[in-house]
Structure 1
Amino acid sequence: MPGPTTRILLTLIPLAGFAADALAADLTRRAALPDPSLPVFTWTGIYSGLFTGYGRLDNRTSPACIGADGRTNGLQCPVRSAFSPKADDVVAGSEVGYTYQLSPGPSLVVGAAGDYQFTPIRSYGVRTGAFAQAGQPGAVYPGGVYQAGQRLDWLGTARGKIGYAFDRVFIYGTGGVAFGSVRLDTATTADGGAFGERVNRPDFDARKSALRVGWVAGGGVEYAISPHLSIKGEALYYDLGARTVLAGDASGLRPGVAAGTRVETSGVLGRIGLNYRFDRGLPVIGPFVDVGKALIDPVPYVPPVAQTWDFEIGNRYVYNSGSFSKALYRPGNEPMASRLSYRDVAAHSTETFARLDHNPTGLFAKGFLGSGFVTSGGRVTNEDDPPGLRGNAPSNTLSRIRDGGVVISAVDAGYHVLRTDTFRLGAFVGYQSAIERVNAAGLVQTAANPVIGAGGVPNSVVVASQDNHWTALRVGLVGEARFDRFTLSLEGAYLPVVGLDGYGRHWLRPDITPQAEHGTGSGYFLQGMIAYDLTSKISIGVGARTWRMTVDRQDGTAQLPALAQPAKFVSERYGAFAQISYRFTESDLDLGGLMAK
């Protein structure tokens, strides 16, 4: 995962499209008069937009090894089979670009585009068994565990575009350079087992993170619903090439052998999006000038007037903290065997939000997307109890949180059941996604176990990681009351269906890593905010939120290579935010007939 500064910059990139849309609000009154020689509609111009969709990662892996004789797959190499555990997940991001239509009417269109998307896609596969030793007839690595996989944190592209426009329909092909952050992990060990002693067995544990560069190609269709707004559907194939990661035997038993994996990184993106096309010329900084004027030279306040459509968009800074815990139980109706708790997981993030209201009907849609980084300073405890535990005594280790990342998004659609000039109450249904990634370093044994953590582990060594993907159905209410320039809003959602797809890693135990974790449960989401109108278009505000998602032991599973355990998972976060937003007018959007009641 990129460093904190890089992650902050990357999280701001998707917001550029939103910010650029807000900048366009003043273009209609500041742009030059249109050239009468141009057609009524043209695809010529700078545009920016947002998209979401689904991404797939074709995780093709093949074992790799340098034997004790220096040859590929040579003497004493573990003989393992290849596998391709595919993965997919929701993606979202922003795009900026420029297109030029060669002549009026149906004609050729050329252009260029760049985009960035969150791609929280990862996949790992596991093989177990007795692995034969190459060149050693009858010799095996007994009880072997081989795991390999990868994670694609984000993906960007820089592409050319060429196609043909049929008035407001633009069909195009596109291709260019793709680049992204890829993390590879692989481990091969023997004499595995959740509670086996780590003696007299080889360990080949390799991992690598890197910025990868490759190519991308695809095509799409875009339709202009107004001179400024267009919707698109697009499919892209990306290929970031293949890399090999190798590691020597950490046990020292096979000093001349290096085993690992070769992993290919490629896949498909399917995206739908909304673009805003600027008038001829570059965007100006109208909204920022308006904010400055409102603060330095305020004018008499004119309350916003409800229109057929109201559209508001803005950015937030969010600080939040929280915890994640998982309790593992022995199969059957047995007591808890292990509990791992991540506490004081603090994070800073940026977030973009938007809301669209159709006032005549009371229908509305809203959503937000944000990401950020986890700070160091939190703590991780890992409690284990006999029987079957190494050292045959209770263990309780303490580690410190080093870093991590968070991503959260939600989209809702609803209806205002109560509406007055100063108050409205709406019900909504929607979808929520949250990603938590945390790395912990160092280890100190605080109980009486003489084996686990004996001698301690320095804080420079990462010992554990957690990677959770939560999804949830949202059903809730949102209320809003206006008092002159102030607006108070409250929102509450019940999450009746929560899903967890996670991986836990104990980096000092490659024989039980990764630990796949799944389950279904429930939760809630609460948010409150007070906003102040600087002008009829610009407002600032502060607020707070909290949410909790839970999977009970009867609905959760932690899968070790050779053992599935019932598990309970709990994630909860709370925090505060500050925001600024901009309201569009109907003339800004230029939707024409779509504005009709």
Structure 2
Amino acid sequence: MKRLLLSLSVLLAGPAVASAADLPPRAAPVLPLPAAPAVSWSGWYLGAHGAWLGDSGEAVRTDAAGVAPAALPARAGLRASGLGGGAQVGYLWQVGEVVAGLEADLSALDVGQGRSSLGVDGPFALRTDLSSQLRWFGTLKGRVGLVLPSLAPFVASSLVYVTGGLATAQIEHQGAITVVPPGVGPAARRTGWRPGFVVGAGAEHRLTPSLSLTSETLYYKLADETLTLARAGDRVGYRFKNDGWISRIGLNVRF
């Protein structure tokens, strides 16, 4: 009887063992990799930039006394552009995907233009010379933007923002009227810092945790300045206007 029971057990267990042998091997459980730490934009930064500035300056005659208005230009275009460079410093705060901050910057430039025109006042020929020269340009502005996923293989993350604030520029405005003959006439020159404002947009890309590439374009408008060219009883006034665009590209180092 024992032999009979043992034989039946072997016969019943055989197919189950064969089926188990045919099952594919079970894969080992895969543990999730830890997420890469998010790149934070908060903190101080310092950087340098190159700049291009295009100024749409002009001089507009406001009045004339003792001089025939027809002998003077009513308007002189002083449009000019040039390259320069400078530095910036700022601080950013990040809350979620929103980043806000303040930045101050200063650019050294040499952007200027002069215009000359000829006219006749009675027996005299008049030459009017008007010029505008911009040498320094600075801003103090705020900005707010959003953090975006990487826009390029070598970029950890990107920040796209809008910006605006105060502007100031050192500009020399000059005007002179030369009488031929005898070669003298009213003249005036003034050099100083003109206030204004800027608005624009830009983007910043994190190349490494401490190094980022930045670029922005701003529209600026500076306060007008009026020069009065006076000599004896002759007096001529010109109002100088300066506005235009400045584009910058640079590198920031974060602390």
Relative to the length of structure 1, the TM-score reads: 0.34
In structure 2, how many angstroms separate the alpha carbons of the residues matched to 1:222 and 1:189? Answer: 51
**Residue 185 (str. 1) matches residue 162 (str. 2):** no
Kindly indicate whether the alpha-carbon contact (under 8 Å) linking 1:234 and 1:271 is maintained by their aligned counterparts in 2.
yes
Residue 95 (1) aligns with residue 96 (2): no
The match for 2:53 is 55
2:245 is the counterpart of 1:268: yes
Look up the SS of the partner of 2:223 in the other structure: strand
SS at match of 1:42: coil
Alignment of 1:265-344 (within 5 A): 265-278=242-255
Gaps of 5+ in 1: 1-37, 69-74, 133-139, 192-197, 279-597
CA deviations 1:150-183 (Å, max 9, x no partner) are 1111011100001111141100011100012111
Matches within 5 A, 1:221-260: 221-249=203-231, 252=232, 255=233, 257-260=234-237
1:159 to 126, 141, 147: 141
- Flag the 1:126–1:141 CA change in 2: closer, same or farther, 3 A: farther
Higher relative CO (Cα under 8 Å, sequence separation at least 6) belongs to 2
How high is the sequence identity, in percent, across the aligned residues? 26
Task: Measure, in 2, the Cα distance between the counterparts of 1:230 and 1:151.
Answer: 33
Alignment partner of 2:102 out of 100, 106, 112: 112
How many residues end up aligned between the 2 structures? 212
Kept after mapping to 2: 8 A contact 1:141/1:190: no
How far 1:202 moved relative to its partner? 5.7
Contact 2:80 2:113 in 1 (8 A): yes
What does residue 64 of structure 1 align with? 62
1:159, 1:81 → 2: CA distance?
36
Letter in 1 for 2:80: A
SS at match of 2:76: coil
**What does residue 21 of structure 2 align with?**
none
CA RMSD, Structure 1 to Structure 2 (Å): 2.0
Give the AA of the match of 2:223: G
Determine helix, strand or coil for the equivalent of 1:226.
Answer: coil
Q: CA deviation at 1:260?
A: 3.6
Query: What SS does structure 1 have at the residue aligned with 2:78?
Result: coil
C-alpha distance in 2 between matches for 1:39 and 1:110: 21
Which of residues 115, 123, 128 in structure 1 aligns to 2:118?
A: 128
SS at match of 1:190: strand
Question: In 2, are the aligned partners of 1:188 and 1:259 still within 8 Å (CA)?
Answer: no
Q: What residue number does 1:528 align with?
A: none
Classify the secondary structure of the residue corresponding to 2:186. Answer: strand
Structure with greater Cα Rg: 2
Equivalent pair of 1:86/1:123 in contact (CA under 8 Å): yes
CA–CA distance in structure 2, aligned partners of residues 98 and 148 of structure 1: 41
- Tell me if structure 2 keeps the 8 A contact 1:65–1:246: no
Q: What is the aligned partner in structure 2 of residue 171 from structure 1? A: 160
Return the alpha-carbon distance in structure 1 between the equivalents of residues 104 and 74 of structure 2: 39
> Would you say the 8 A contact 1:149–1:263 is kept in 2?
no
Indicate if the aligned counterparts of 2:199 and 2:220 stay in contact, CA closer than 8 A: yes
Which amino acid in the other structure matches residue 45 of structure 1? G
The 2-side partners of 1:97 and 1:261 are apart by: 38
Give the equivalent residue in structure 2 for 1:44. Answer: 42
CA deviation vs aligned residue, 1:196-247 (integer Å, no higher than 9, x gap): xx53x66111111111111111111111011110101110111112111012
SS in structure 1 at match of 2:41? coil
Runs of 4 or more above 4 Å deviation: 75-78
- Partner of 1:172, secondary structure, is strand
Partners of 1:58 and 1:99 in 2: how far apart?
A: 32
Quick one: which amino acid aligns to residue 139 of structure 2?
T
The Cα shift of 1:146 comes to 1.0
Whole-angstrom CA distance in 2 between matches of 1:45 and 1:115: 17
Q: Which amino acid aligns with 1:264?
A: K
Q: Is the 2:51–2:107 Cα contact (8 Å) retained in structure 1? A: no
Q: Residue 62 of structure 1 contacts residue 83 of structure 1 at CA under 8 Å; is this kept in 2?
A: yes
Which residue in the other structure is 2:78 paired with?
A: 85
What residue identity is the alignment partner of 2:174? D
Structure 1 residues 108 and 213: CA distance shift in structure 2, 3 A: same
Contact 1:111 1:160 in 2 (8 A): yes
Amino acid at match of 1:150: S
Instruction: Give the CA deviation at 1:141.
Output: 6.4
